[in-house]
Structure 1
Amino acid sequence: MTSEDAQAIRKLVEDWALWRDAGDWERFATVWHPSAGWMTATWFQGPAAEFVEASRTGFENGVRILHFLGGHTADVRGDRAIAQTKMTISQRAEVDGVEVDVVCTGRFYDFLARDGGRWLIVRRQPIYEKDRLDVVDPDATLHLDPQLLGHFPEGYRHLGYVQTKAGFTVEGGLPGLTGEAVERLYAEGAAWLAGSDTAGDPR
């Protein structure tokens, strides 16, 4: 991997977070591969173009799902790459009349391709490692439904809880720190670097 590739891939990942969180939708659309872009999140699984529009609609309706990036690494094989970037997802919302902040720590696991000389995202699959929920007002009291909380994997159970209460349909069984789902993702990443026809098995 050249230093130019490393810089371009890191910039791509940072552009995704900054442009999405700022609501810069025209530029946000440019980080995705035009014919194959796919996004998986707790609340969305589908083509990148639909994700851009769903994000725009949510933003305009007051949904605030924000991202902060940390350490980063990438493996490059020719015109393909797998990038992993430490991240946190934070969302402020109201649950049963109580304002809360939920924060989820994990990694963005990105399948990338060089197209027309530019690195672009073919598939983004977050890995959800752990999360927590805090009430914004320390004097407020919130009682969680243990059945709903237990419906989601440990890595994003509070995020899934808040998003479900906010009206989203949250996907179950997404990759966590360990387990079958993340091992399958790693195998799909290795196959992508080896030249597989698809970037894993998007739903």
Structure 2
Amino acid sequence: MSEEWRERLLIRDLVENWAVWRDAGDWERFRSVWHDDGRMMATWFQGTADEFIKVSREGFEKGVSILHFLGGTAIDLAGERAIAQTKMTINQRASVDGVICDVVCTGRFYDFLEKRDGSWGLVLRQPIYEKDRLDPVDPSQAPKLDRERLESFPVGYRHLAYLQSGLGFKVKPDMPGLIGPVVEDLYRRGRAWLAGKPLESAPRAA
């Protein structure tokens, strides 16, 4: 096996471990996929890896149901840096206006990775939200959504945002979607990362 393929397999293994260990509540091993300065971006959370683990664990222990499923991964390697894009779905179950529903959001994990002291780790995970849908668990029921509130959220994750905001989360309004200036800026930051430049912060919402 070539060294390049070995590195690609290690990165793919890390991506898969993230989903399995996070959803299973295996917090000690989940911490091992992050570098100490790792950061997580999500609709409902933006902060350090340690903070993300803390709030995820608290939610897990309270019965919050968020699961992740992975598809193919494309990896760009540049020495000891990499960008990995992995097809994924986020599935969250909760009550929406009194009806238990599943929201399924399809997109990609866009990961900034670096190899330090011989080990790959996440420096930043930024999901890209492409499209979503909401389904009642019992098909004989259907929530009566507030259309104006639903359409106030970005199209790529508006049902997920509707559910999460209804649970009391403050949802970030400018996450990257399939197309548009926000995702184009993310790609630009990824290219800069691979070129050896410092990791840039995402522009703040106007």
State TM-score, norm by structure 1: 0.97
Alignment equivalent of 2:6, drawn from 4, 7, 12: 4
Cα deviation, residue 199, structure 1: 4.7
Question: What corresponds to 1:90 in structure 2?
Answer: 91
Equivalent residues in 2 for 1:122-161, closer than 5 Å: 122-161=123-162
Q: Distance in 1 between matches of 2:197 and 2:47?
A: 20
Q: Give yes or no for contact 2:10–2:120 (8 Å, CA) kept in 1.
A: yes
Q: Distance in 2 between matches of 1:120 and 1:127?
A: 20
Identity %: 61
Q: Which amino acid is 1:84 matched to? A: Q
Aligned residues: 202
State TM-score, norm by structure 2: 0.95
Q: Give yes or no for contact 2:85–2:109 (8 Å, CA) kept in 1.
A: yes
Distance 1:62 1:202, change over 3 A: farther
Q: Does 1:197 align with 2:198?
A: yes
Q: Distance in 1 between matches of 2:173 and 2:53?
A: 22
Query: Aligned Cα RMSD in Å?
Result: 1.2
The one-character-per-residue Cα deviations of 1:46-71 (angstroms, maximum 9, x if unpaired) are 01110000100010011011000001
Equivalent residue of 1:113, what SS? strand
Q: Which amino acid is 2:112 matched to? A: F
Cα deviation, residue 200, structure 1: 4.3
Q: Does 1:115 align with 2:134?
A: no
Equivalent residues in 2 for 1:60-71, closer than 5 Å: 60-71=61-72
Cα deviation, residue 202, structure 1: 7.9
**Structure 2 residue ranges without an equivalent (≥5):** none
Q: Give yes or no for contact 1:122–1:199 (8 Å, CA) kept in 2.
A: no
Alignment equivalent of 2:33, drawn from 31, 52, 68: 31
Q: Give yes or no for contact 2:97–2:145 (8 Å, CA) kept in 1.
A: no
Equivalent residues in 2 for 1:163-182, closer than 5 Å: 163-182=164-183
Question: What corresponds to 1:52 in structure 2?
Answer: 53
